[in-house]
Amino acid sequence: MPLPAPLTQFLASVHPYDSLPADAVEALAEACEARELAAGEAAFAVGDAVQALYVIAEGAFEITDEAGVQLSILGPRNSFGERALLRSETATRTATATAASTLIVVPAATLFELIAAHTPVARFFDRRRPSRADGRNLATLPVERLMTASPASCPPQTPICEAARLMRDRHISSICVSDDAGFQGIVTLRDMNSRVVVEGHDPCAPVSSIMTANPLTLGPKALVTDVLHLMVERRIGHIPIVEGATLLGIVTQTDLTRAQALSSADIVGRVAKSADADEMARATAEIPQLLVQLVDTGNRHEVVTRLITDIADTATRRLLALAEENLGPPPVPYLWLACGSQGRQEQTGVSDQDNCLILSDAAGEADMAYFHDLARFVAQGLDRCGYFFCPGDMMATNPRWCQPLRVWREYFQRWIAKPDPEAQMLASVMFDLRPIGGDEGLFASLQADTLGAASANSIFTAHMISNSLKHQPPLGLLRGLATIRSGDHRNQLDLKLNGVVPVVDLGRVYALQGQLRPVNTRARLEAAVAAGVVSHSGGADLLDAYDLIATTRLEHQVRQVKAGTRPGNYLDPSQLSDFERSHLRDAFVVVKTMQSSVGSGKGALG
């Protein structure tokens, strides 16, 4: 069958074939054939042997799973079939044309040759998270990740006194000089002292008269080690980062010292020694920069979120200790627990607080005032440190969540016995409880008994599964990704609610089904595979998908911090490369597949 013309140009516009040399694209076009399908006709179905990769040239295809649940709608330039092909498996999905369509059929042998011969193609079809080249060594980072972007600058004709005033007001040790022609020079505090204060230079003269013209600069791709070597060799403390004539940023000795000193252990140490919430807040204010450093130096997402959560745990325990110093010793034993992202040890650059108090059954009505005061003291301190109050009031300051152990047992028994929508929501939150400070013996038996009772109640489990499917991955018509249609976040993806939360919910269901103790999502998925709650292949896919989604979220927040904005969860997919969008879409497809498996009643082993 004749191929759609011009095929070579079409393939050259499709990622990853756009990275191939011209002769390789022509060879690929010669090896392909066209296949036309009518609306309703399937390219392949579940159980079929897949022997080719299919690239959509015209039309659209619906991808469904074994239960017939729609996973995604794909349009021109999208491809499918690689999952089964690369694993040498029969198809686990059905691809059906929803309109008259034309497919470009890439034979398996041709695809494997491309993967073997061309790194960009191999990288594209490797569904694991791409490795990061820099490891965990600060010195090997490119300076563009460390520099202060858009540094303070002024035109050459600016009076020296005005430049000095700007440096004072911004608490900076240098100011760059630039005009329409580009970067011209730099003035440092040393220049101000030696040339103005000591030599008596006219403070009303233009700043260009005391600047260091054409100073030593580096490009954005230089390494931090280059900065270190130059500063030591030339005995300078400021290096502008310039590309062409454009000033991009600056790196100072202070930047290097701060980056080398900044660590989760340093912040934890300062928080643990804080005399009050204000001092604590000065330490936690550095969490966004810690997030940047941890992600930029190649740490895995679960390591980053664990280290950031450790700071919140320390802040909570220090506030509990300060509360006891102010209020006196507690009248009965108690346990402060976190739920939500802190409970799962999955905090990122933006987190609210979700917590509760379990009190000894010896607590009487007269003791409640003490614990209400303690809860208020700690919650207000956490808010001061940037962990804002929970919008849903899931906090120990709410009397409902500050109760003796016997009441907590009644809560869980009632939720399990009558899983109405509120019970499902509350149980979902409370199944993520993790002890933070106090008598942990108050929780151990409660957790074990609750998991046993919940997993044994098939009606409750079914309701929890149904509740876990309320948050769906954002799959749709836009290159396979469905963005928000209106409001402040129009045309964006919610990487929390529609990204990580569906996996969090699946992990919670698996933990319930297998009576698994871990609370962290990744640990739950690994435990579910080990316990046979989820199949090895399904679990491996879901772990890879979760890793990619969670890492994409963290990298997005890092870009926001570097841009000087508050980190959040909404991402415009146009900011991603074709490679990143394609892999993110595939990750969402995996999540959707696992949701469908659980929701169809087949469990996770189907």
Please, are residues 203 and 164 in contact by the beta-carbon 8 Å criterion? yes
Tell me what pLDDT residue 182 has.
93
Report the chain's mean pLDDT, rounded to a whole number: 89
Tell me what pLDDT residue 133 has.
42
The answer to whether residue 117 scores a pLDDT higher than 90 is: no
How do the domains of the chain map onto residue ranges?
Answer: 7-125, 138-259, 262-466, 469-599
Q: List C-alpha distances in Å: 555 to 241, 265, 293, 352, 566.
A: 23, 22, 11, 20, 13
How many CA atoms are closer than 13 Å to the CA of 377, on its beta-carbon side? 20
Kindly state the percentage of the chain with pLDDT values over 90.
57
* Nearest C-alpha neighbor of 43 from the set 17, 14, 74: 74
> Which DSSP state fits 206?
B
- To 10 degrees, the CA torsion angle through 280, 282, 283, 285? 120
Q: Rounded to whole angstroms, how far apart are CA atoms 76 and 454?
A: 46
**Cα 375 → chain centroid:** 30
Q: Rounded to whole angstroms, how far apart are CA atoms 351 and 568?
A: 10
Q: Rounded to whole angstroms, how far apart are CA atoms 352 and 391?
A: 8
The answer to whether residue 197 scores a pLDDT higher than 60 is: yes
Q: Rounded to whole angstroms, how far apart are CA atoms 168 and 175?
A: 11
Task: Write down the pTM of the prediction.
Answer: 0.75
The answer to whether residue 233 scores a pLDDT higher than 90 is: no
The answer to whether residue 601 scores a pLDDT higher than 80 is: no
Q: What does the pLDDT look like over 52-108, one tens digit per residue? A: 999 999 998 988 887 787 777 788 888 899 888 887 788 888 999 999 999 999 999
Amino acid 59 reads: G
Q: Rounded to whole angstroms, how far apart are CA atoms 125 and 122?
A: 5
The answer to whether residue 605 scores a pLDDT higher than 70 is: no
> For the residues 256-273, what does the mean pLDDT come to?
80
The answer to whether residue 425 scores a pLDDT higher than 60 is: yes
Q: What does the pLDDT look like over 309-358, one tens digit per residue? A: 999 999 999 999 999 999 999 999 999 999 999 999 999 987 889 999 99
> Which CATH number is 262-466 given?
3.30.460.10
CATH topology for the 138-259 domain = CBS-domain (3.10.580)
The CATH class given to the 469-599 domain equals mainly alpha
Q: Please tell me whether residue 287 adopts helix, strand or coil conformation.
A: helix
Q: In what order do the strands lie in the sheet with 153-154?
A: 153-154, 174-179, 182-188, 212-213
Please, are residues 195 and 205 in contact by the beta-carbon 8 Å criterion? no
Tell me what pLDDT residue 137 has.
64
How sure is the predictor about 602, in pLDDT bands with cuts at 50, 70 and 90?
low
The answer to whether residue 603 scores a pLDDT higher than 70 is: no
Q: Judge if 7-125 and 138-259 fold alike in CATH terms.
A: no
**Cα 438 → chain centroid:** 31
* Nearest C-alpha neighbor of 436 from the set 582, 320, 272, 514: 320
The answer to whether residue 536 scores a pLDDT higher than 60 is: yes
Q: Please tell me whether residue 57 adopts helix, strand or coil conformation.
A: strand
> Which DSSP state fits 500?
I
Q: What does the pLDDT look like over 541-561, one tens digit per residue? A: 999 999 999 999 999 999 999
Cis bond upstream, residue 159 (ω within 30): no
Q: Please tell me whether residue 302 adopts helix, strand or coil conformation.
A: helix
Amino acid 354 reads: D
DSSP E strands in 268-408: the ranges are 334-338, 355-359, 402-404
* Nearest C-alpha neighbor of 505 from the set 598, 418, 583: 598
Tell me what pLDDT residue 599 has.
74
> For the residues 154-168, what does the mean pLDDT come to?
96
Please, are residues 203 and 209 in contact by the beta-carbon 8 Å criterion? no
> For the residues 294-318, what does the mean pLDDT come to?
90
Phi/psi of residue 435, each to 5°? -65, 140
Q: In what order do the strands lie in the sheet with 70-74?
A: 42-44, 94-97, 61-64, 70-74
How many CA atoms are closer than 13 Å to the CA of 430, on its beta-carbon side? 27
Tell me what pLDDT residue 2 has.
44
Q: What does the pLDDT look like over 426-470, one tens digit per residue? A: 888 888 999 999 999 999 889 889 888 988 898 998 999 988 898
- Please give the radius of gyration of the chain, using alpha carbons only, rounded to the nearest integer: 29
Please, are residues 91 and 84 in contact by the beta-carbon 8 Å criterion? yes
> Which CATH number is 7-125 given?
2.60.120.10
Q: Rounded to whole angstroms, how far apart are CA atoms 449 and 402?
A: 20
Q: How far apart are the first and last CA of the chain?
A: 38
Q: What does the pLDDT look like over 198-220, one tens digit per residue? A: 999 999 999 999 999 989 999 98
Neighbours of 175 (CB within 10 A): 27
Tell me the longest C-alpha to C-alpha distance in the chain.
Answer: 86
Please, are residues 151 and 241 in contact by the beta-carbon 8 Å criterion? no
Q: In what order do the strands lie in the sheet with 246-252?
A: 148-149, 246-252, 238-243
Which tokens belong to 568? 């959040």
H or E element that contains 536: helix 536-562
Q: What does the pLDDT look like over 94-107, one tens digit per residue? A: 999 999 999 999 99
